[in-house]
Chain A
Amino acid sequence: MAETKGTVFLERRSYRQRRLADLARALPVVGLLLMLIPLLWTQGAEDGTRTSRAIYWIFGVWAVLVCASGLLARGAERDEAAGPQPTRRESGGPPGRPGP
């Protein structure tokens, strides 16, 4: 029984690792969308969105991106130290690009 438990534990770890990698891949996409939100703001020298608010938004998103990618990279690193990293999935290109 002990052996079976060990196997389950390892699979679970590599599964979580892959999901973390998925999250890391999604992060820049989410970040880009958030960074493009200023395009929707009202424009103009008089009634445009105030610059201080723009600064808070952009730097806020930026800081969140930095922290999130830092946490993800740290997490992946810890997992990698604990077990081998799956290499099968990494050969694909981004979506929308013609595959090999």
Chain B
Amino acid sequence: MASLNLLIGVCLVYVAVLFAVAFAAERLAVRGNSHWLGSPLIYTLSLSIYCTAWTFYGAVGYAARSGLEYLTIYIGPSLVMVGWLWGVRKMVRIGRSQRITSIADLLSSRYGKSNLLAIFVTVLAVIGTTPYIALQLQSVTLSFAAFAATDPSVAMPDDSNLTALWVAAGLAFFTVLFGTRNLDANERHHGVVTAIALEAVVKLVALLAVGIFVVWGVGGGVAETMARIDASSLGHWEMASGRWSGLIFLSAAAFLCLPRMFQVLVVENDDESHLRTAVWAFPGYLMLMSLFVMPIAVTGLAMLPEGSNPDLFVLTVPLAEGRTGLAMLSFLGGFSSATSMVIVASIALSTMVSNHVVMPIWLRINGTGAMVSGDVRHVVMLARRLSIVGVLLLGYLYYRVSGGGTALAAIGLISFSGVAQILPALLGGLFWRGATRLGALCGLAVGFALWLWCLFLPSFGADVIVPARVLAEGPFGLAGLRPQALFGIEGIDPLVHGVLWSMLFNACTFFAVSTFTFPSPMERLQGAQFVNVFAHSNTPRGWQGGVAQSEDLMIMSQRILGAGQAQALFRNAAQQQGLPGYLPEPTAEFLQLLEREMSGSVGAATAHAMVSQIVGGASVSVEDLMAVADETAQMMEYSSQLEAKSDELIRTARQLRAANEKLTQLSVQKDAFLSQISHELRTPMTSIRAFSEILRDTDGLTVEERGRYSSIIHDEAIRLTRLLDDLLDLSVLENGQVSLNIRQGRLDEVLDRAVAAVLQGGGIALRRDRAAEAILLETDIDRLSQVFINLIANARKYCDAAQPSLTIAVRQRDRVVTVDFIDNGSGIASDAQEVIFEKFSRIGEGKAGGAGLGLAICREIMTRLYGTVAYLPGQGGAAFRVTLPARALMAAQ
């Protein structure tokens, strides 16, 4: 016979193996070798936490009591998974794209990140799961007792409560150790999931082993077993049709709403494509789990004495046959079922409690909230650990209060119907944009209240919480409010009755209130996001960035995400914005990203609240809504802004290029000018030096020679002086420092003076029209005559005709006077015409050796006098036109 000590030893070894597996898996995941861990097989096996001790022990008991009805519990989830395209896929996609951490988080996110709703769902989930955890405690306690009964050496303590307490404490310790190793729920508990997958294999193998033993070892084959089933008290189809269909619906609903199922189905999902395997493999798993239940139940009923607990047939049938090894395996299977359920359920619940209840309260108590120094992560961790202990304690209390004698399946169904109250709000949120927060709250409240009254409170048994009189006659004698016969309608199965009324009123309230209330902008945004998750998987802009201090955000997120991860996040964001260092601009996109990262640690509502404490509130304006609704318009606006900006840039660049060209030209001109100047100065200086050296060093020079050399030196000195004078003159003119001596004078007199100055010795024939020249001027007469002198001197110097002549033609038209100087030479080549007014430009080898500054000076003078001087082509020789403005004319003429 098996000793109890051996059993406990095996249990501890098994737990140690599980822990080692979980530890190794986490190590592998950290090293990045998680491709095997993240395989669809592991995902499917982890879904099998649906099969708890209820399935392992309870299903046989259920079958022994009610025949094939136990199958409804597995048909419902199978259909849900087979129909994954309807809802499961959408839930997983939303969970991944919104970084959802729990079912409460999903509803809170969907309904405008409402924390009130999250708290409500959390409370509902905790209360709904409590009987379920009690069920696990009860099953493990019972299985210990069953083993102890066969071990004469150990006297099992009469008080099974003590065993249950030890089991609860052990499970709490185990879960805390397993489940709160890392904070970000979206980092996924690789270790836990792998351990659960192993447990899934153990419980399947154990149940199959017992089943095969019963069918082929005891029963003698399939046909004989079937015949025995037909011959037993369960041999004919006896089914309350309401229960058959009602339980299929209930189990399908619970599969979607149970916090632990949501945890493994959505939160721990590594890859959406794993669903493809799970959709057939999970129903297959469920089918195998339920395959041998009926044979075991019938064999147990036939073999064991009347009054044995049918919930323990899986264990007691092998024990009765003396198969201790098989019984041990079976015990391990049941132990696996119970532990895996408790671990995942309490992880899921503790996440919900810490994110939606503890953190908001903590933030409120610590007034300044997110800005308090210290690591928030410790608070979150502590909250989760305490929540795990609390959840298990509640389960233990339920076990104590309910007396531990109820059928496992009955307890489980109470639990199912409790969490199924979430279904209307969940499906409404996923598929109906009109669902509102108030509608969800009211629906949940009504459904929850009815569930409490009709199912939960009576589940403890008469007179424990609800007095037997109230059960029979209704509160205050109101027969219409009897917990198991509302509105006086009797004869419905109590469970179907409770599920029917609670779900009906829940859904109707939800739809009615949703229809007649108006959602807030945030709700509408989130609603559109959730319902149309496949159309666009990005989030709307909720934050008005710019007010936030990046540094404050950094301090806060370091405490939630951990320093390394937060810094990496900020650095990446800064890099994407093209900024150096660790502090990105708090743009709407960045805040969105940050909020979503943090919601993986503390839940959407808390993350939202924390960011809003720093940013100063998220505002969703009508503009935001419109911007989201019409992203195309937004994009177009943005691109037109870009276009305008780029046009502006092109213009600026063009202006810069022009300025640059001008500067380059000026620089070239300056260089040319300097080299010209030095050349011009050098030539006369060379001859002055040479001739003065001759005068100094050569003896016996004749007076005539000395005179000639001296006059050369004198001429060159004069030429230098003239050059310097010209330069000075030009520089004065160019800098605008010249002071004009405006006075009246006659044009013909000015011309006379100029001609007299140049043509003293004749040399060129002059033609003038004195009548046209009789014009009175008011200008700088001396400067004007300087221009004329220059032009006449040029003509005398450069006119290459055999009999040179110069025509001076004066014309007055439209109060503008033009004076043309036209000679009969060969003129100036057209390519040279452009440059003759530039400094140092000379045409041909100058006979008189001018410096080439004359015309440049002329142009500057005329500019000062508000007139012009220009070359006049096509006159049969070189021709210059001087134009004098009207203001130079005497008005009184």
A residues in contact (CB < 8 Å) with B: 21, 24-25, 27-29, 31-32, 35-36, 38-39, 41-52, 54-55, 58-59, 62-63, 65-67, 69-70, 73-74, 76-77, 87, 90-91, 93-94, 97-100
Contacts and interface: CB of A to CB of B under 8 A. Distances in A.
5 contacts: A29-B83, A31-B83, A51-B230, A90-B534, A91-B533
A83 B533 CA distance: 21
Contacts of B229: 51-52, 55
A48 B236 contact: yes
A81 B433 CA distance: 33
B241 A28 contact: no
Given A59-B291, A91-B532, A100-B432, A28 B273 contact: no
Interface stretch (B280-288, B445-453, B560-568): B280-288
Contacts of B159: none
Most chain B CB within a 10 A radius of its CB, from A58, A69, A98, A100: A69
Nearest to B89: A90
B236 A97 contact: no
Contacts of A32: 79, 248
Contacts of B283: 62, 65-66, 69
Contact of A94 (B86, B276, B531, B534): B86
Given A66-B287, A69-B283, A28 B237 contact: no
A63 B67 CA distance: 20
A90 B90 CA distance: 9
Q: How would you classify the secondary structure of chain B's contact residues: helix, strand, loop or mixed? A: helix
Interface in B45-73: 67-68, 71
B362 interface: no
Nearest to A29: B83
A80 to B, nearest CB: 8
A47 B236 contact: yes
Contact of B237 (A35, A36, A38, A93): A38
B236 A73 contact: no
**Which 4 residue pairs of A and B lie closest in terms of their CB atoms, listed nearest first?**
A28-B83, A70-B280, A93-B431, A48-B236
A27 B86 CA distance: 11
Contacts of B284: 66, 70
B535 interface: yes
Interface string B442-472: 0000000000000000000000000000000
Contacts of A65: 78-79, 82, 283
B235 interface: yes
A34 to B, nearest CB: 10
Interface string B227-269: 1011001111111010011001000000000000000000000
B21 to A, nearest CB: 28
Nearest to B434: A98
Q: How would you classify the secondary structure of chain A's contact residues: helix, strand, loop or mixed? A: helix
Contact of B86 (A28, A45, A66, A73): A28
Given A25-B83, A67-B280, 18 more contacts: A25-B85, A28-B80, A29-B83, A31-B83, A36-B245, A45-B233, A55-B68, A62-B78, A62-B283, A65-B79, A66-B280, A73-B279, A77-B276, A91-B532, A91-B534, A93-B431, A94-B86, A97-B427
Contacts of B78: 31, 62, 65-66
B287 A62 contact: yes
Interface in B76-115: 78-87, 89-90
Contacts of A87: 534-535
B296 to A, nearest CB: 13
B236 A45 contact: yes
B730 interface: no
Contacts of A42: 237
A98 B515 CA distance: 11
A28 B427 contact: no
Nearest to B511: A98
A21 to B, nearest CB: 6
B641 interface: no
B804 to A, nearest CB: 84
Given A38-B244, A50-B237, A94-B86, A73 B68 contact: no
B744 interface: no
Most chain A CB within a 10 A radius of its CB, from B78, B85, B273: B85
A21 B279 CA distance: 13
Nearest to A62: B287
B277 interface: yes
B238 A55 contact: no
B82 A28 contact: yes
B795 interface: no
Most chain A CB within a 10 A radius of its CB, from B68, B235, B236, B433: B236
Given A38-B244, A58-B68, A24 B432 contact: no
Contact of B83 (A27, A62, A98): A27
Nearest to A36: B245
B363 interface: no
Nearest to A73: B276
Contacts of A44: 236-238
B519 to A, nearest CB: 13
Contact of B79 (A28, A49, A63, A74): A28
B230 A52 contact: yes
A45 B67 CA distance: 11
Given A46-B236, A55-B226, A73 B277 contact: yes
A59 B86 contact: no
